Amino acid sequence: MRVAFVVAALALAGLAHATEDRFPRISEAYFVKRDGRVLWAGGAERRLPPASLAKMMTALIALERGELDALATVSAAAAKASGTRIGLAAGDKLRARDLLAATVVRSANDACRALAEHLGRSVGAFVDMMNARAAALKLADTHFVDPCGHDRPGQFSTAADLARLAEQLVEHPEYMRLARIPEMSIRAQGGRKFSFRNTNALIGRYAGAIGLKSGYTERAGNCLVALAEKEGVRVLVVLLNAPNRWWNAVGLLDRAFEEPVR
């Protein structure tokens, strides 16, 4: 995998040199920032399905709300959530912080829905909270319908908006702690254990990778918000519908770190 990363990074560097600041074949939309300054963007204002990158807003609300040690009870609907999951059962009781961990690290839809129901008392009410927070952050091209990123009519965001949302999460140490964990375990009340690995393939493989969130659905394709830090420099990459997201993320990160400071 490391060899493929290097090969793809070199190929992307050559493409970047040939097309200046534009990478039209990388993804349907992309956005790259280095220490808060925009380096490159393509289709960054295009409204697209965000897949599990929507969970970043779910996590932000959970962190801002606090009370992470409160117990949440998993509903039958949460236990039946489709897609990536950790195997929660109806009636399981877990701390909100453990549901948050499974949502961030494993992108688990059963944990995410249980967390959303716990915080909002219903999925619909929680989605209203998500959209209110998006409006407060001036994410004008973002609208949520599902808290976990399932494909739903009317759910969309942009690479630029997701970069701004990511920058909010960076301010929360607990999110950043979770985002860089390669694997972990949590327990339900009563002792049932759930172990899982991070869905972000850059963690532990790309030097300096510290987050932030990956996602996939059939409509959205492969999506990624990648954050890496080297020698005090931070680079943020957002990719939406990127067939080769891991390789291209590495190429963009490498080139961004090598970009001369202006």
**Tens of pLDDT along 86-97?**
999 999 999 999
Helix, strand, or coil (residue 206):
coil
Other C-beta atoms closer than 10 Å to the C-beta of 171 total: 10
Q: Which residues contact 260 (CB under 8 A, 6 or more apart)?
A: none
* CB of 17 closer than 8 Å to CB of 34: no
> What is residue 25's predicted lDDT score, i.e. its pLDDT?
85
Tokens read off for 59: 């996590």
Q: How many CA within 13 A on the CB side of residue 215? A: 30
> What is residue 262's predicted lDDT score, i.e. its pLDDT?
67
What strand order describes the sheet that includes 209-217? 37-42, 29-34, 233-240, 221-230, 209-217
Backbone angles phi, psi at 176, to 5 degrees: -65, -35
Tokens read off for 206: 């790309």
pLDDT-derived band at 259, boundaries 50, 70, 90: confident
* CB of 27 closer than 8 Å to CB of 240: yes
**Confidence check: pLDDT of 202 > 70:** yes
Q: E strands, the chain, where? A: 29-34, 37-42, 71-73, 93-95, 183-187, 193-197, 209-217, 221-230, 233-240
Q: Are strands 93-95 and 221-230 parallel, antiparallel or unpaired?
A: unpaired
Backbone angles phi, psi at 44, to 5 degrees: -65, -20
Structural domains of the chain, count: 1
Tokens read off for 177: 């702690």
* CB of 52 closer than 8 Å to CB of 148: yes
Compute CA distances 154 → 41, 146, 159, whole Å.
24, 10, 17
Q: Tokens 């702690």 label which residue? A: 177
Tell me which residue range forms the domain holding 88.
Answer: 2-258
CATH of the domain at 171: 3.40.710.10
Query: pLDDT digit string (tens) for 207-248?
Result: 999 999 999 999 999 999 999 999 999 999 999 999 999 999
**Confidence check: pLDDT of 22 > 80:** no
Q: Tokens 């929360």 label which residue? A: 172
Q: What percent of the chain has pLDDT over 90?
A: 88
**Confidence check: pLDDT of 66 > 80:** yes
pLDDT-derived band at 252, boundaries 50, 70, 90: very high
Number of residues assigned to the chain: 262
pLDDT-derived band at 191, boundaries 50, 70, 90: confident
Least confident window among 138-152, 196-210, 247-261: 247-261
